[in-house]
Chain A
Amino acid sequence: MLRILVRVGFRGPASAGGIAVALLTVWLAIAAMAPGLRLWTDLVTGLSSASLYTGPLVAGVTAFDAARWSSFSRARSPFSAQPVMIVRLVHAVSVAIPIIAGYVLGVGVLAIYATVTNVYGNPYAPWLLAVGSAIVVAIGFGYSVGSVAGTYWFVPPAAALAFYAVLVASRSLRLSYGVISLFPYVTNIDSIFVEYVTSTMIGEIVLWVSLATLLIMLAQRGIRRIATVRSIALVAGLVAFALIGGHLVLQSDGQYTVGHNPGDFVCKTGALTVCLNPGYAQALPELYSQFRQLNMRTAGTALVAHRLEQNVEGVGDDPGTGARSVYLEQFGSRKDVELAAYRYVTKYGATPGCVSRGIEHESQSTTEAIEDVNAWLSGFTDAVAGFSNLSHFGRLTSMATHAGNVWFRAHQREYFACTLRLADLP
């Protein structure tokens, strides 16, 4: 049986489709890597988003293959020694094998690439399986369209575009996240600072594989309406599996991850301690020096950083005792480190006080003054790029470190109370 599958499967458009899936998987996964960092989580994110193209591609290729085979073999298959359903399912599997092999090959190449280039972390197996299952649905969809529609000129592109349209529609319509996650395209972003919701992924795998098998079977039923007790039981079983899978996805509202900090740090200690996840370790010297500079400007105030631990912004922000959070997503340039410092000052500086007072009570002068100070302390000049008057900011940045610190200490009360005005600035 395996020999037949290999002989039938490893030739024709399906094999080319498999090679395309492998190449696209590798290219788009590597393209998704954050600048300056080498993380498996980024590769998984890119690999997931690739299925927006690989899904329609596979649907079109399998539609072509199924239509061509159906047309050539329709007259012959009733005379085969095996039941027609088995003959056609064997062909469907033989079309699927090179495509799935292409995905597995792509993941394998990524694993080798990750090992050779010291990529940090490990992929989460259910996530990879869920992405693979999305491709299996595309195979099932394309194969059923090709089997039913035949060899018309529009069949392969129509199958591809229809599959793509379904994916786009699922994201464009205002559906709940749980319902969106029922569609075979994984748009979640993987990160080191998460815990995985395995039930969603298992649910998707069960749903999508059942759905793909069901689509292929029903397409055959459409061609030869012979209902046997065994095939009806099989269809009922697949429907039940699909429902269970769908229920699991809806139950967790399609969530793949929840915020979580593994607390796995490498630290640089000196005037202060900066701790980052080992995957981000190459940013440590620059981040340390950026916060050292910030500490010199904020010395003697509540904004001084003593111990910083990398964290995830929003959910799961839980630094250790006596530590504060620092957020760093990428390390492509100095700007990324400055942004991390800016996020620190907006979290621990005046901004929370301004927000609690209500934005309507803030004058334009206060807003600009606080932003000028935040941008100056952090070195993140993009924060004030849109301001029409940069003279105050210019005077802040031109001050010597000590003079700046003296000024900031003198005005820290107004700054933290969110009553600082442009007139208070040097």
Chain B
Amino acid sequence: MTGALLFIRSRYWLANIAIALISAGLIDVCGPIAYSLNPLGGYLVAVAAQIPLVSAVATQASLASATTVQDRYSARHLGVWRLIHYVAMTSVAGIAVGLAASALNVSPESQLSSYSDFGAVAEVRNLLALTGAAFIGASAFGGAFGWTFPLAWATLPFVLARGANSDSTGLLTLVIAPDAAFIPMVAALVTFVVGAALAASAWSVTAVLTSISGVAKKVTAPQRR
């Protein structure tokens, strides 16, 4: 129990929960509240679409322990704990942003009717994709720089001056894809699973590959009699 409490405190779960709630509040401010003030606008929905980025980055950054060396020599294997952190914090944020976004109801008559199909499903999808991306970023650039990858993904629809309209797969412009977009949803789930594997292995790609090959060897090895 003490170990669990120590882990929870050292990974700033309370701060993560607070950030998730603030993110949900921001979605309501940028989405339903702004939209109720200006039903023909809807332009802030694009901002609301990016807000899961905050929770995603917080989940990853808080797991970038300041006590990496101690972690390595800890009596317990922290992989499962790290995975619990990943799933628990994403779940809390997912419920918060999902509930907040459920009030998002952009009318097709709005100036940006392309956002009329954007709602809670898309917000949760964005959270999954960006959280996974943060852990992929951390494994590529280090624990302090996990945010670089999801930030890039969240801003791409707005920096690709002409590319946004020509992104037929919706992968580059995932954050503004509608609820029903199939390929972005699959990409988000895959990214989330990859992120989970990296989270459990302290964002070491080598560790993930070693684990996979270890499991594969166990499965394929002949049984001793």
Q: Which residues of A contact B (CB under 8 A)?
A: 13, 16, 20, 28, 31-35, 42, 45-46, 49-50, 52-53, 56-57, 60-61, 64, 153-154, 156-157, 160-161, 164, 168, 172, 189
Contact = CB atoms under 8 A, between A and B. Distances in A.
Interface residues of B, number: 31
Nearest to A29: B161
Contacts of A16: 141
Given A32-B160, A154-B15, A156-B144, 14 more contacts: A28-B161, A32-B161, A35-B162, A49-B159, A57-B152, A60-B147, A153-B66, A154-B58, A157-B57, A157-B146, A157-B147, A161-B147, A172-B30, A189-B161
A189 B161 CA distance: 9
A161 B57 contact: yes
Contacts of B147: 60, 156-157, 160-161
Max chain A C-beta neighbours (<10 A), residue from B30, B50, B53, B155: B155
B61 A31 contact: no
Contact of B162 (A20, A34, A53, A153): A34
Nearest to A330: B162
Interface of B: 12, 15, 30, 43-44, 47, 50, 53-54, 57-58, 61-62, 64, 66, 141, 144-148, 151-152, 155-156, 158-163
B159 A50 contact: yes
A161 B162 contact: no
Name the prevailing secondary structure of the A interface residues. helix
B207 to A, nearest CB: 22
Contacts, number: 80
B151 A56 contact: yes
Contacts of B162: 31-35
A56 B155 CA distance: 10
A168 B50 contact: yes
Contact of A28 (B44, B54, B61, B160): B160
A20 B137 CA distance: 13
Max chain A C-beta neighbours (<10 A), residue from B15, B50, B148: B148
Max chain B C-beta neighbours (<10 A), residue from A32, A46, A53, A172: A53
